[in-house]
Amino acid sequence: MCKDFTITVFTEDHIGLLNRITSVFTRRHLNIESLNTSESQIPGIHRFTIVLNTTEEIVQKIVLQLEKQVEVIKAVYHLDEETVFQEITLFKVSVEQAAQHNLVERLIRDKNARILSVEQDFMIIEKTGHKAENDDLLEFLRPFGLIDYVKSGRVSLIKPDEELKNLHELVNEAKQANNNQSFN
Amino acid sequence: MQMEATIAQSVSEKVKTSGAEAVIRSLLAEKVDLLFGYPGGAIMPVYDALFHYQQALKHVLTRHEQGAIHAAQGYARATGKVGVVMATSGPGATNLITGIADAMIDSTPLVCITGQVGSHLLGTDAFQETDIISISMPCTKWNFQVTKAEEIPAALAKAFYIAQSGRPGPVLIDITKDAQFGEVEFEYSPCQNVRSYKPEPPINPEAIEQAAELINSAKRPFVLFGQGVILGQAEEEFKSFIEKTGIPAASTLLGLSALPTDHPLNVGMLGMHGNYGPNKLTNECDVLIAIGMRFDDRVTGDLSRYAVQAKVIHLDIDPSEINKNVKVQVPVLGNCKETLKHLTQAVKRKSHQAWLEQFRAYDQIEHEQVIEPELKPLGPELTMGEVIRQVNELARGEAILVTDVGQHQMVACRYTHFKQTKSNITSGGLGTMGFCLPAALGAKLGTPDREVVAVIGDGGFQMTLQELGTIFQTKAAVKIIILNNSFLGMVRQWQQLFFDKRYSSTEMVNPDFVKIAEGYGIKGRSIKQRSQLKEAVAEMLDHKESYLLEVHVGKEDNVFPMVPTGASVSDVRLS
Ligand SMILES: Cc1ncc(C[n+]2csc(CCOP(=O)(O)OP(=O)(O)O)c2C)c(N)n1
């Protein structure tokens, strides 16, 4: 049965690694739902958050293939309920229409959105939430002069702390073993 | 003398050198004494540095970069050492790709060094610029672009470490021209650790225990062994394990020669053209013990009907192999040299005579229906099998057999009796036609004291025959046998069996191979008659230099047994 899985990958911060990571998916003809990269709380270590809609069997194999890459330190996968996650959508809406339909108040009060910027012709609205909530707002705005929108990938933190502790240990251990080495 | 002093210095002392010379010094520090390659603009500084080190570091100029990399693969497979290849940017680098992909899927340790345009030109579509890092990414174990001279020693140290540790594989280092010209305080320290990389998973004693328990209570256990046994240098540990447990063992294509063919527990080869017994009985064993093999689809046939009755134990160094194709009850991670030692201690001494007899009974059937007719044919035409058996007998089973891809490959691997390890070199996972001739050259240069016999089809020979030039120039005494059926035989066999004999683009009008050899200064002979066979093979083997023997064989002979694609291993056909 297909479900959304969030894959978290901790890697070295090297050029080309994004390519190597995505080719693990490309090879198996898998479509990545979303992908986000950022630094991690461990200096020098990069963090990928990848959402994949697939079966548990496939995601298990993918995670092993990811870990097999030399510059990947750790890869784990989780179900939605094991993580806290958010996505952002930004909307560009016509100021005139928003005023006509009294949107601003409804947006802020009912939909938990924020106004980021108001220009002469348009305003930028931000909504942070789960995909369904953001999409819900998208549908709400469509009839009211929606000019443009953009969605971010998912960012997520893993609830069980164990795995991160292991990661810290892994990195420290390796750092010590690595001390006599200038290049990694 | 002076040269030796410089080499010693290169390893120990800090010296100022060019990036190009740092490449050479790094190779020397890794004890490389032979590499294969082809020069060009973007790698010229390194070739220039090489000029001064010719005594210590021999470079073999092949006739094509594909030849260079297959030669390095042959070298690596015959010696167990890392093969080193060098090529220029652009077409030089892209010509390596087939070999890189081949080495990746067959776990062969290689370090490939490519020249790259100057770093200021990267991304400008400069002359002979190609993004070889992106191109090679999915088929290298690791790759890295060097843009500064001072990165060279550490990048190469890391490359050698990664290529040969854990599950070996090809690594590519792309060096921009300005980095080759740049200056570096050369100092070399071999790499012993990369923090994000765990080449050998720790051994789990519980897994050993569980595996031992399953093995001890098994009634019909069956061992499948692959190249992992050879790569882990675990041949002795493997033999002790099967001898103590008395378990019949079958080899994958790449596992061949890890255990002598005539060992009483060796029940033959697995796979599409493997032996009858091991294929049939895979679906009757109760415990399947896979050692250093990866359940390739050519071994398993239809997975939904593959050993479903069996509990599976899988010994492998690569965690991503576990459950990849076949569901495993007991994974035993680690280097099999270690895990086999532990496992052998934990299991009971046993024998499985009746079960072994079942394999022998199938052998009898295969012998009568396939092997006899192949080795003692009634018709006038020579068969591939009788040629191979003749070579094997006259070489006393001691030669390294290098094969290309096709019918001759399957026949050669089926009918050769191996005595010692690292004696079978073939392109297994990728099935690369054109692999054999250059790989045989590399194997011979790596192991000059061993006889190296290259067995090639008339099709595959013509994919890399330019390497006859390299054989000529290096005087490597490679013995070449072309099994000429005037067809792309394996494809023709499939056309006969599965496409109603529509021989679409598989028939070949071939040149005079002996004349071609002659042109390269290589002695050659062509035979058709059975009466000539023994004497011709003897002449070839006795010849001190390279020799090419063309043998005309039956045009439409087929290789059996065969597990048709999509069929279950137990539906293996004998005709
Ligand atoms: C580079 C490459 N191209 C195509 C194939 C597909 N292929 C597999 S076997 C074969 C026929 C090989 O013919 P030949 O070299 O004459 O050997 P034979 O099968 O006759 O022994 C072909 C074309 C391949 N394996 N490799």
CATH number at residue A171: 3.30.70.260
For residue B320, the chain A residue with the least C-alpha distance is A64
Say if CB B182 and CB B307 are below 8 A apart: no
**Best mutation site among B383, B384, B484, B488 for ligand 1, i.e. most ligand atoms within 8 A of its Cβ?**
B488
Residue B3 appears among annotated catalytic residues? no
Q: Which residues in B lie closer than 8 A to residue A180 (C-beta atoms)?
A: 189
- Which residues of chain B are in CATH 3.40.50.1220 domains? 205-359
CB contact under 8 Å between A72 and B196, yes or no, is: yes
Q: Which two tokens stand for residue A47?
A: 């963090």
What pLDDT band is residue B122 in, cutting at 50, 70 and 90?
Answer: very high
Rounded to the nearest 10°, the torsion over CA B59, B62, B65, B69 is -70
Same domain, A160 and A147: no
Say if CB B542 and CB B337 are below 8 A apart: no
pLDDT at A174: 59
User: Does A184 reside within a domain?
Assistant: no
- Cα B214 to its chain centre, rounded Å, is 32
Is the interface score ipTM higher than 0.95? no
What does the DSSP 8-state code read for residue A81? Answer: G
What is the distance in angstroms between the Cα of A105 and the nearest Cα belonging to chain B? 50
Say if CB B292 and CB B336 are below 8 A apart: yes
What does the DSSP 8-state code read for residue B24? Answer: H
Q: Which residues in B lie closer than 8 A to residue A169 (C-beta atoms)?
A: none
What does the DSSP 8-state code read for residue B166? Answer: S
In order, the DSSP letters of B50-81 are HHTTTTTSEEEE-SSHHHHHHHHHHHHHHHSS
Q: How far apart are CA B316 and CA B467, in angstroms?
A: 36
Q: How far apart are CA A38 and CA A16, in angstroms?
A: 15
User: pLDDT for A105-153, tens place per residue?
Assistant: 888 888 899 999 999 999 999 999 999 999 999 999 999 889 999 999 9
Residue B3 has pLDDT above 70, yes or no: no
What is the distance in angstroms between the Cα of B137 and the nearest Cα belonging to chain A? 6
Q: What is the CB neighbour count within 10 angstroms for residue B292?
A: 32
Residue B9 has pLDDT above 70, yes or no: no
**CA A123 to each of CA A100, A101, A118, B108: distance values in angstroms, whole numbers, following the listed order:** 14, 14, 4, 59
Same domain, A74 and A8: yes
- On whether the pTM is more than 0.90, the answer is yes
CB contact under 8 Å between B194 and A70, yes or no, is: yes
Average pLDDT of span B15-23: 97
Same domain, A70 and A50: yes
Q: How far apart are CA A124 and CA B123, in angstroms?
A: 36
Same domain, A7 and A80: yes
CB contact under 8 Å between B196 and A174, yes or no, is: yes
Q: What is the CB neighbour count within 10 angstroms for residue B3?
A: 12
Residue nearest to ligand 1 atom 8, measured at CA: B406
Q: Strand B34-37 vs strand B83-87: parallel, antiparallel, or unpaired?
A: parallel
Q: To the nearest whole percent, how much of chain A has pLDDT over 90?
A: 73
Ligand 1 touching residue B255 (CB < 6 A): no
Residue nearest to ligand 1 atom 24, measured at CA: B433
Average pLDDT of span B424-444: 98
Which residues on neighbouring strands pair with residue B311, listed in sequence order? B287
Same domain, A167 and A77: yes
User: pLDDT for B295-319, tens place per residue?
Assistant: 999 999 999 999 999 999 999 999 9
Q: Does B162 touch chain A (CB under 8 A)?
A: yes
Q: What is the CB neighbour count within 10 angstroms for residue B8?
A: 11
- Which residues of chain B are in CATH 3.40.50.970 domains? 2-186, 382-552
Residues 6 or more apart whose Cβ sits within 8 Å of residue B236: none
CB contact under 8 Å between A70 and B162, yes or no, is: yes
Same domain, A30 and A73: yes
The residue whose two tokens read 């060992």 is B263
CATH H-level superfamily of B382-552:
Thiamin diphosphate (ThDP)-binding fold, Pyr/PP domains (3.40.50.970)
Residue A179 has pLDDT above 80, yes or no: no
User: pLDDT for B193-244, tens place per residue?
Assistant: 999 999 999 999 999 999 999 999 999 999 999 999 999 999 999 999 999 9
Residue B147 has pLDDT above 50, yes or no: yes
Mean pLDDT of chain B: 97
Ligand 1 touching residue B408 (CB < 6 A): yes
Residue B127 appears among annotated catalytic residues? yes
User: Does A7 reside within a domain?
Assistant: yes
Say if CB B484 and CB B407 are below 8 A apart: no
Alpha helices (H) in B13-63, listed in sequence order: 19-29, 44-51
Q: How far apart are CA B295 and CA B429, in angstroms?
A: 11
For residue B197, the chain A residue with the least C-alpha distance is A70
Nearest in space to A158 (alpha carbons), one of A60, A40, A62, A61: A40
pLDDT at B7: 56
Helix (H) or strand (E) holding B398: none
Q: To the nearest whole percent, how much of chain B has pLDDT over 90?
A: 97
Same domain, A34 and A120: no
pLDDT at B12: 57
pLDDT at A98: 87
- Based on the number of CB atoms within 10 Å of its own CB, is B376 exposed (0-12), middle (13-18) or buried (19 or more)? exposed
CB contact under 8 Å between A183 and B195, yes or no, is: no
Average pLDDT of span B514-525: 98
Q: How far apart are CA B444 and CA B36, in angstroms?
A: 13
Counted domains in chain A: 2
Q: How far apart are CA A86 and CA B289, in angstroms?
A: 46
What is the distance in angstroms between the Cα of B85 and the nearest Cα belonging to chain A? 21
Same domain, A79 and A103: no
pLDDT at A182: 38
Q: Which residues in A lie closer than 8 A to residue B140 (C-beta atoms)?
A: none
Same domain, A52 and A24: yes
Look up residue B388 and give its amino acid.
I
Order of strands, sheet of B287-291, starting from the edge strand that comes earlier in the sequence: B266-269, B249-251, B221-225, B287-291, B311-316, B330-333
Same domain, A31 and A98: no
B324 vs A26, A61, A184: nearest CB: A61
User: Does A183 reside within a domain?
Assistant: no
Q: How far apart are CA B406 and CA B383, in angstroms?
A: 15
User: Does A58 reside within a domain?
Assistant: yes
B194 vs A64, A65, A184: nearest CB: A184
CATH number of the structural domain B2-186: 3.40.50.970
pLDDT at A180: 41
pLDDT at A109: 84
**CA B113 to each of CA B43, B59, B133, B146: distance values in angstroms, whole numbers, following the listed order:** 9, 13, 11, 10
CA neighbours closer than 13 Å in the CB half-sphere of residue B56? 22
Which residues on neighbouring strands pair with residue A72, listed in sequence order? A11
Average pLDDT of span B63-79: 98
Nearest in space to B282 (alpha carbons), one of B568, B561, B564: B568
Domain residues for the domain of A54 are 3-84+156-177
Same domain, A107 and A166: no
CB contact under 8 Å between B320 and A64, yes or no, is: yes
Say if CB B146 and CB B20 are below 8 A apart: no
Residue B128 appears among annotated catalytic residues? yes
Best mutation target among A22, A69, A70 (most B Cβ atoms within 10 Å) is A70
Residues 6 or more apart whose Cβ sits within 8 Å of residue B364: none
Residue B177 appears among annotated catalytic residues? yes
What pLDDT band is residue B10 in, cutting at 50, 70 and 90?
Answer: low
The residue whose two tokens read 């070999």 is B99
> At A49, phi and psi to the nearest 5?
-120, 115
For ligand 1, the distance from its centroid to the CA atom of residue B472, given in whole angstroms, is 25
CATH number of the structural domain B205-359: 3.40.50.1220
**CA B191 to each of CA B38, B169, B447: distance values in angstroms, whole numbers, following the listed order:** 27, 16, 27
Same domain, A10 and A80: yes
